Amino acid sequence: MNKLELIKGIARTSPEKIVLLVIDGLGGLPDARTGKTELETARIPHLDALATRGICGLSDPIAPGITPGSGPGHLALFGYDPVEYNIGRGVLEAMGIDIELGAEDIAARGNFCTIDKDGIITDRRAGRISTEKSAGLCKLLERISVEGVDIKVTPVREHRFVVVFRGADLHAELTESDPSMTGVSPLEIKAEQAKARRTANIVKEFITAAKGVLKKHHPANMILLRGFSRKPQLPSLQEIYKLKPLAITVYPMYRGLARLVGMAISPKCATLEDEFKTLKANYKKFDFFFVHIKWTDTAGEDGDFGRKVNVLEQIDAALPVLTDLGPDVLVVTGDHSTPAMLGGHSWHPVPLVICSRYCRTDSVEDFSEKACLGGGLGRIRATDIMPLAMANALKLTKFGA
């Protein structure tokens, strides 16, 4: 019996409400001059108050030393083993722009790129053409007809698009055409398994046709495809936890992830204040709320320590709207760390606080990496967070007699 089966067997509904506040890229590293991390630098009295009344700890998204992408980072937070349920880049991208994927569809992430007369890639992003320009080119690509499949090409942003192949007996075990570098030709798509050979030929035919269609559209005169993938078959949050979940996010990818695990999706929000207001407006209708805040991660990815500090302070300032709702269980954590010092996702464990009547509080009074180290939860795997949230919401009965 795996963990999800165990949980499924003991989950029950209860009136209690759980809010999972995910501050993307939450954890950081100390600034060399001050010796303080982003969290330690920020004035965050409301988060500190949560640390004081809650139980704290550090969470490893996947395992010590492993840096997660956004997909695995979130799946782990929702309780799914992120190694068992890996999501391809194509699927993630497709779901993020509200494409409803069928179980058999193959999605890939596409880039418009520039090639020279010899077919050598000179710009992998086609000069970052405008989203409008890209949308027009996607329409041209969508007219390409390949026997045995329907092809849908949808613009994402700038040079990025998603292509979905729909048809019988398609397989995603394909190599990528994007060589991840300039100065070389696009790679040939190959089947990684025999069963995917026909799919490889279909994709190759599409790419060849695309090259013809785009010939006169320099700088976007070629495409690169990667992340061929099929939607993983995940049991939903309803099935496992008997929850009625709502996702509140600003960015597409996180809506896609939430949809994948069966969450209802709130109308789009633009700011974190919007997100908290949306939470308030929908508070009666659901019993689980995934609230995703992106800008900490963006600041970290940009290597901007000060901006990450500012975002943390903004979150803290807005937090009373959330806490005034008095959720029975409030979990605040991140899907991974994004230290400004590294300018990207990292492997460092993520601060975590769980507040509830029954959390068994510890002596931690600051919400920071170092303080959470001494917390009552210790250092846990991210997949343990959902069972803990459920337990604190009295939504799990006893295991065994």
Among 147, 212, 222, residue whose Cα is nearest residue 177? 222
Residue 367 CA neighbour count, 13 Å, CB half: 31
Does position 252 interact with a copy of itself (CB under 8 A)? The reply is no
- Residues in contact with 189: Cβ distance below 8 Å, sequence separation at least 6, in sequence order: 174, 175, 176, 177, 200, 203, 204, 207, 225
Q: How far is CA 33 from CA 41, 309, 341, 380, in A?
A: 12, 15, 12, 30
The residues, any chain, with a CB within 8 Å of residue 175's CB and separated by 6 or more, are 187, 188, 189, 190, 192
Pairing of strands 350-355, 378-381: unpaired
Residue found under tokens 């395992």: 63
Select the residue interacting with a copy of itself from 17, 89, 231, 259 (CB under 8 A): 89
**Exactly one of 70, 114, 199, 338 binds a copy of itself (CB under 8 A); which one?**
70
Query: What is the C-alpha to C-alpha distance for residues 372 and 139, in angstroms, rounded to an integer?
Result: 51
Question: Which region among 71-79, 144-152, 164-172, 302-310 touches a copy of itself (by CB under 8 A)?
Answer: 71-79
The 141-180 contact track toward a copy of itself, x by CB under 8 A, reads: ----------------------------------------
**Residue 61 contacts residue 70 (beta carbons within 8 Å):** no
- Binding of a copy of itself at residue 92 (CB under 8 A)? yes
Candidates 20, 25, 54, 71: give the one binding a copy of itself (CB under 8 A). 71
- Per-residue x/- track, 16-55, a copy of itself (CB under 8 A): -------------xx------x------------------
| Closest distance of CB 380 from a copy of itself, Å | 6
Choices 114-122, 209-217, 290-298, 377-385; region in contact with a copy of itself by CB under 8 A: 377-385
CA 234/CA 312 separation, integer angstroms: 32
Residue 227 within binding range of a copy of itself, rule CB under 8 A? yes
Identify the residue among 173, 345, 367, 382 touching a copy of itself (CB under 8 A). Answer: 345
- Among 175, 282, 314, 361, interactor with a copy of itself by CB under 8 A: 361
Q: Using CB under 8 A, which of the segments 88-96, 120-128, 184-192, 274-282 binds a copy of itself? A: 88-96
- 144 CB contacts (<8 Å, ≥6 apart)? 151, 206, 209, 210, 213
User: At its nearest, how many Å lie between a copy of itself and the CB of residue 201?
Assistant: 25
What six digits make up the tokens of 367? 């919400």
Q: For binding to a copy of itself (CB under 8 A), which residues are involved?
A: 1, 3, 6, 10, 29-30, 37, 58, 62-73, 82-83, 86-89, 92, 227, 339, 341-342, 344-348, 358, 360-363, 369-370, 373-374, 376-380, 384, 386-392, 396-401
